[in-house]
Amino acid sequence: MRAATVPAAAAAAARRAARKLGLVGAAAIVSLALTCVMGARGQGLDFGTPTITGDQGAWEEVKAATMRQNGTSYRSKASNGDTGEYSHGSSHTFEPYHEGVKETVTVGGETRFRLRTAGGPGVWLCNPPAQGDSSLGPLKQALASIHESVDVSRGADAMIDGTPVHSYTLHITLQASTGAVSSDLIAYIGAQNGLPLRWVTPDSFGSTAPPIVTDYYDYGAPIRITLPACGTS
């Protein structure tokens, strides 16, 4: 089964959780983001089966909305400055950092990225070459050691920019040998179209900092994402 795309803000929170749990590297970040929200499997990595408690019907509705989102095109804008365009599993995102903006394009499982600074955009850099399944051994062991639990509940219905939405809270706990982290993710899904309109996610798992709000819009827009050639600007 094709894994669902995880909202950028949720992926960022999962990245920070990965660091707290001692996981590093792009594969760990992406895998943890997927398993954190969807309990998905991919890239030959086994994350185990998450423990889902609470409202099972609500959990299925959140999963269905995320899968539906992955099958169309849309744009996103987050309160921390992150923006993105997405089209049927491909993505083109911009993530501000202290020296400029990191620009990332992913198409068909391949990723290119570059840094945009005051001096202009850099050249596109490519994924490192695959090193075979044996290189995933330590990562597989690390991911297998994580136990995830998700407690799901429904919140009050609300309105976002005049659109009625249902709200859902996912209390996610990631337990590893190095410790545990947990936080709430809140999804607002359109009552009429069944698509996510907003995710509210932690700045980092377990953090008391203000959460990041990511809005999704322009569903069905004619967005075309092309993978840049390595070394070009």
Determine the Cα–Cα distance for residues 214 and 8; give it in Å rounded to an integer. 8
Determine the Cα–Cα distance for residues 9 and 201; give it in Å rounded to an integer. 6
Q: For tokens 């009625």, what's the residue?
A: 164
User: Which DSSP symbol is given to 199?
Assistant: E
| Mean pLDDT, the chain cut into blocks of 10 residues (233 residues total) | 38 50 38 44 49 93 88 92 91 89 90 89 77 52 71 96 96 79 89 94 77 93 96 90
Note the pLDDT of residue 208: 80
Q: For tokens 């209390």, what's the residue?
A: 171
pTM (global) more than 0.85:
no
Strand bridging mode 125-126 / 158-160 = unpaired
The DSSP secondary structure of 150-178, one letter per residue, reads EEEEE---EEETTEEEEEEEEEEEEEETT
Please say whether the beta carbons of 167 and 140 come within 8 A. no
Residue 187: other Cβ atoms inside 10 A: 26
